[in-house]
Amino acid sequence: MAMSVNVSSSGIINSGFSRSSALSEPKVSQIGSLRLLDRVHVAPVSLNLAEKRSSSVKPLNAEPKTKDSMIPLAATMVAEIAEEVEVVEIEDFEELAKKLENASPLEIMDKALEKYGNDIAIAFSGAEDVALIEYAHLTGRPFRVFSLDTGRLNPETYRFFDAVEKHYGIRIEYMFPDSVEVQGLVRSKGLFSFYEDGHQECCRVRKVRPLRRALKGLKAWITGQRKDQSPGTRSEIPVVQVDPVFEGLDGGVGSLVKWNPVANVEGNDVWNFLRTMDVPVNTLHAAGYISIGCEPCTKAVLPGQHEREGRWWWEDAKAKECGLHKGNVKENTADANVNGESKSAVADIFKSENLVTLSRQGIENLMKLENRKEPWIVVLYAPWCPFCQAMEASYDELADKLAGSGIKVAKFRADGDQKDFAKQELQLGSFPTILVFPKNSSRPIKYPSEKRDVDSLTSFLNLVR
């Protein structure tokens, strides 16, 4: 710590301290603002700053005889202040995450609240994040909860917010989008532009920017992310980490810590916990909604479908993130799959012996046939896609069921280099996309439903074959 001392003819000392980046912030911000006010009276005793750590130091009770006598005093002050400063090492959150890897959500929550007190808050989405509030309640520590009100939530979600506040005796801190930004987006592109050009812009205005404002007032936040929520993007979430995207109260990279107490918990276990504790839940869950967001972008899922399939269902599986957890999203580039391996290393799916594997040339030839001898049903897929994986058993069963019936069942891998072609020529919107090529039609018919069980697919085939 550097100190500059200027002694005026009146005997007043002006002292200034420069902050050292190696010191811990809470103590440095207090000590770093020390200034000697009024006339300094020096007694031949040592200073004790341990009893008083304020933004100013009261005058002492002795008059210095000469200006020269102040110099050794200044040196003494620096030495004693240095002794008082407690240097705290920067915490290794990767190491902490390893230590807490097998800890229970309750233990992780308790650690987070103990460590940050009023400078941490739970991000509550109106879905199963109520489990986080219950864990915080069980610790017996005070806690804060905030939520992003996008202005487009379901009525059931708003009633759920109210029920949670009354149940726990808390007030949720709501963050709202900037009205001018929302007005500009809606006026220029309409209320439902995200169906045409993707949800990212709307989420950025209604969710990401309000979240950024909320986090600027915190040193840490608590989320309900789980690894099993989205195998393609969240499979490597640690229980605690330095937030890689957002800034906290102190500003700058590394100023915010992110806690994910249920990262290693499966969705079924979360729900068992909620039922056991008899806490309020969103009534939309009983209607088949699992992952709940804004009303236009959320729908119920069917048994066997992945929970994230009900969010932004018109987009690719890898796009099913709004940007709030961008730092945890794994990049599904041409060389990476959901497990961090190269896509070429992913085991292929749809393995029935009665199923035809089409090459690019093969499906182009199929498209050119105007009078086919038999109808075809083709799935456009990516083997790393969890939604494609979820329908593998039913599609293989369909191929076996239709063997010898005069209907060909086929697959075409449409990711990587084939994706642009599939989008332009094969109506690919998201994985999986199912097409039926009738006998007497030059264009394939896209299967419009999310129901991918054998009976639903067979019924559709009978209608268009």
| Residue positions annotated with a catalytic role | 385, 388
Cβ contacts of 323 within 8 Å, gap of 6 or more: 200, 203, 204, 207, 208
d(CA 173, CA 146): 4
Alpha helices in 329-447 (DSSP H): 360-368, 386-390, 392-401, 419-425
| Cα three-residue angle 45-49-52, rounded to 5 degrees | 125
d(CA 199, CA 196): 9
d(CA 210, CA 208): 6
Q: How far is CA 110 from CA 103, 105, 275, 394, in A?
A: 11, 8, 22, 44
Q: How far is CA 390 from CA 187, 193, 303, in A?
A: 39, 29, 11
Let me know how long the chain is: 465
d(CA 57, CA 53): 8
Phi, psi of 23 (to 5 degrees): -90, 160
- Beta bridge partners, 408, equal 376
Q: Which amino acid is at 262?
A: V
Phi, psi of 58 (to 5 degrees): -65, 150
Is the separation of the CB atoms in 414 and 465 below 8 Å? no
Determine if the peptide bond prior to 432 is cis (ω within 30°): yes
